[in-house]
Structure 1
Amino acid sequence: MSVMRLDLIMKSIIPVVMAGIMAIYGLVVAVLIANSLNDGINHSRNFFRLGAGLSVGLSGLAAGFAIGIVGDACVRGTAQQPCLFVGMILILIFAEGLGLYGLMVAFILSTK
């Protein structure tokens, strides 16, 4: 992007930032699970914690793949046609929704 269109560099960073938000979702759930640990072993609660971690992790993985593929294609398209930027943002928001759904499921599972 910096070779083709120097004026669009900051706009092309948005997919990278949105992919980084997935890591923050995982960190929030990890801190939530770590703070709920105690000395007693309760197998059902531990399986809920495992499910919470898997839900945020796998949904973050799926959202990361979607953001990566869409981000690559749309940044290349925006370099050629700048009016594609709004469509790129909308598609990235829907891809980020996958990770947000996993975060909500993780919250529900970790609070049981």
Structure 2
Amino acid sequence: MATMVSSSLGAAYGMANNGTSIVAMSDMWPELIMKSIIPVVMAGIITIYGLVAAVPTASSLNDDISLYSSFLQLSAGLSGLAAGFAIIVVGDTSKWGTTQQP
């Protein structure tokens, strides 16, 4: 459960941040909207990866799960959260570069 929630939070934050910067950039350069939508699509893919990772972790849950397995499942979700933050950095940097030199 934490796998899906964490990766979805990271993807949602990545989409929100990159979406607002796309809207801000489209005011000055409307022809660059399609180039700038790539980070939003990448953030959506993280949600799909989180769902793919959540299915095996949910099927392996039982009463006698080890602490090691629990931390592995938690780290799978946190990697999706970290990937969402990385997409924010990459998306903002690419948009700044695109606006400087289209």
Contact 1:2–1:9 under 8 Å retained in 2: yes
1:68 to 81, 84, 88: 88
RMSD between superposed Cα atoms in Å? 2.0
Q: How many residues align?
A: 78
1: CA distance, partners of 2:58 / 2:77:
16
Q: Which has the higher Rg, Structure 1 or Structure 2? A: 1
Offset of 1:37 from its aligned partner? Answer: 4.1
Tell me what 1:78 maps to: 98
Offset of 1:47 from its aligned partner? Answer: 4.4
Structure 1: which 5+ runs fail to align? 83-112
In the alignment, structure 1 residue 30 sits paired with structure 2 residue 54: yes
Q: TM-score by structure 1 length?
A: 0.58
- Greater relative contact order (CA < 8 Å, ≥ 6 in sequence): 2
Structure 1 runs of 4+ off > 6 angstroms? none
Q: TM-score by structure 2 length?
A: 0.63
Percent identity at matched positions?
64
